[in-house]
Structure 1
Amino acid sequence: MGSSIDIRARDGSGSFSGYLAVPASGSGPGLILAQEIFGVNANIRDIADYYAEEGYVVLAPDLFWRQQPRVELGYSPEDFAQAFGLYQGFDQDKGIEDIAAAIATLKGRPEVKGGIGVLGFCLGARLAYLAACRCPVDIAIGYYGMGIEQHLHEAEGIRGRLVLHFAGQDEYCPAEAREAIYRHFEHNDAAELYLYPGVDHAFARAGSPHYHKPSALMAHQRSVSALRRAIGPHYDLSALWDKHCEYEFDTRNVDDTMATMVAEPYVNHIPTMTGGVGYQQLYRFYKHHFVDNNPPDTKLTPISRTIGDTQIVDELIFSFTHSREIDWLLPGVAPTGRYVEIPLLAVVKFRGDKLYHEHIYWDQASLLVQVGLLDPTGLPVAGRETAAKLLDESLPSNTLMARWQQSEGKD
Structure 2
Amino acid sequence: MSKMIDIRATDGSGSFSGYLALPASGRGPGVVIGQEIFGINANMRAVADLYAEEGYVALVPDLFWRLEPGIELGYSEQDFAKAIDLFQRMDVDKAVEDIDASFTALRGLPEVEDAGLGYVGFCMGGKLAYLTATRTKAATSVGYYGMGIDQYLDEADNIKGRLVLHFAEQDGYCDADTRARISEALGGRPGIELYTYPGVDHAFARVGGMHYDKPAALMAHERTIAALKREIGPDHDLSALWEKHIEHEFATRDVPATMATMVAEPYVNHIPTMTGGVGYKELSRFYQHHFVHGNPPDMKLVPISRTVGSSQVVDEFVMCFTHSTEIDWMLPGVAPTGKYVEIPMLGVVKFRGDKLYHEHIYWDQASVLVQIGLLDPTGLPVAGVETARKLLDETLPSNTLMARWQSSEGN
Q: TM-score scaled to structure 2, two decimals?
A: 0.99
Equivalent in the alignment of 2:318: 317
Matched, 1:29 2:36: no
Q: CA offset at residue 131 of structure 1? A: 1.1
- Per-residue deviation, residues 88-146 of structure 1 (Å, max 9, x unmatched): 21111111111111111111111111110111000001111101111111010000000
Equivalent in the alignment of 1:206: 207
Q: What are the residue-to-residue correspondences of 1:284-323 with 2, within 5 Å?
A: 284-323=285-324
Matched, 1:52 2:57: no
Amino acid at match of 2:312: Q
Q: What are the residue-to-residue correspondences of 1:182-193 with 2, within 5 Å?
A: 182-193=183-194
Q: What are the residue-to-residue correspondences of 1:316-355 with 2, within 5 Å?
A: 316-355=317-356
Backbone CA RMSD of aligned residues: 0.6
Q: Secondary structure at the match of 1:103?
A: helix
Equivalent in the alignment of 1:236: 237
Residues paired across the two proteins, number: 410
Q: Secondary structure at the match of 2:256?
A: helix
215-224 or 85-94: bigger deviation = 85-94
Q: CA offset at residue 157 of structure 1? A: 1.3
Quick one: distance in 1 between partners of 2:364 and 2:188?
43
Q: What are the residue-to-residue correspondences of 1:15-94 with 2, within 5 Å?
A: 15-94=15-94
Quick one: distance in 2 between partners of 1:107 and 1:13?
20
Q: CA offset at residue 63 of structure 1? A: 0.5
Equivalent in the alignment of 1:146: 147
Q: Does the Cα contact within 8 Å between 2:187 and 2:194 map onto a contact in 1?
A: no
Q: Does the Cα contact within 8 Å between 2:126 and 2:146 map onto a contact in 1?
A: yes
Q: Does the Cα contact within 8 Å between 2:168 and 2:204 map onto a contact in 1?
A: yes
Q: Secondary structure at the match of 2:194?
A: strand
Q: CA offset at residue 187 of structure 1? A: 2.1
Equivalent in the alignment of 2:106: 106
Q: Does the Cα contact within 8 Å between 2:146 and 2:174 map onto a contact in 1?
A: yes
Quick one: distance in 2 between partners of 1:386 and 1:88?
61
Equivalent in the alignment of 1:156: 157
Quick one: distance in 2 between partners of 1:125 and 1:155?
15
Q: CA offset at residue 37 of structure 1? A: 0.3
Q: CA offset at residue 186 of structure 1? A: 2.0
Matched, 1:197 2:215: no
Q: TM-score scaled to structure 1, two decimals?
A: 0.99
Quick one: distance in 2 between partners of 1:110 and 1:132?
25
Quick one: distance in 1 between partners of 2:264 and 2:147?
35
Q: Secondary structure at the match of 1:225?
A: helix
Amino acid at match of 1:77: E
Amino acid at match of 2:407: Q
Equivalent in the alignment of 1:222: 223
Q: CA offset at residue 156 of structure 1? A: 1.3
Q: CA offset at residue 11 of structure 1? A: 1.3
Amino acid at match of 1:386: T
Quick one: distance in 1 between partners of 2:172 and 2:390?
51
Equivalent in the alignment of 1:372: 373
Quick one: distance in 2 between partners of 1:360 and 1:191?
34
Amino acid at match of 1:101: A
Q: CA offset at residue 64 of structure 1? A: 0.3
Q: Secondary structure at the match of 1:20?
A: strand
Q: Secondary structure at the match of 1:360?
A: strand
